[in-house]
Amino acid sequence: MPDTATDTVATPQGADCQLVINRVFDAPRELVWAAWTQPEHIVRWWGPPGGGTSDCEIDLRVGGRFRLTLKAPDGSEFPCNGVFREVVPPARLVYEGPAASPSPCGAGLPPRAVVTVTFDAVEGGTALTITTVFDTEADHDAAIASGLAQGWPPTLENLSVYLPGIGA
């Protein structure tokens, strides 16, 4: 089963707004989970083409922290920080962004946002859904304007290319 294209939808939810991104990977759920939660894998695929991630630390437990530094193609660096609210291997992660960030998209984890990532086993692969719920409509609009929605498809394509190389 080949990977399917990424669908990105920005949907207002009353006073809150959310961004939902879906992708199906031709890889088992446990493998996609490992690639998403282990620093040695994340540094190999997270980030835009020509950029990437220079470092990553993960304390994969409720209350644990997630930190990485995203490098843009021009060499600019953007920190991505968060705290895990829920960890259910290999099915679900929920984490929240910091109160402030130098970038409204937070290198994939916007400030004052809650991100839920689900890993659903489907025939021949894994359906990944990333749901980002923003604190305010202004936060949503700022993250979208800074490129959050445009940044995820190439990053997930990096993951798609990376997964076959790490095996089961």
Question: Cα–Cα distance between 133 and 127 in angstroms, integer?
Answer: 19
Within 8 A by CB and 6+ apart from 123, the residues are 1
pLDDT of the residue at 119: 98
7-161, what's its fold?
Alpha-D-Glucose-1,6-Bisphosphate; Chain A, domain 4 (3.30.530)
Cβ burial of 14 (10 Å; 0-12, 13-18, 19+) is: exposed
Beta carbons of 42 and 55 less than 8 angstroms apart: no
- Going from the C-alpha of 78 to that of each of 30, 52, 66, the distances in angstroms are 28, 10, 14
The model's pLDDT over 40-84, given as tens digits with 9 standing for 90+, comes to 999 999 988 888 888 999 999 999 999 999 888 888 888 889 999
- The answer to whether residues 69 and 46 touch, using CB atoms and an 8 Å cutoff, is no
Taking the C-alpha atoms of residue 5 and residue 25, their distance in angstroms, rounded to an integer, is 10
Strand, coil or helix: 140: helix
Under-70 pLDDT residues of the chain: 1-16, 167-168
| Tokens 């859904």, residue located | 129
* Model pTM score: 0.88
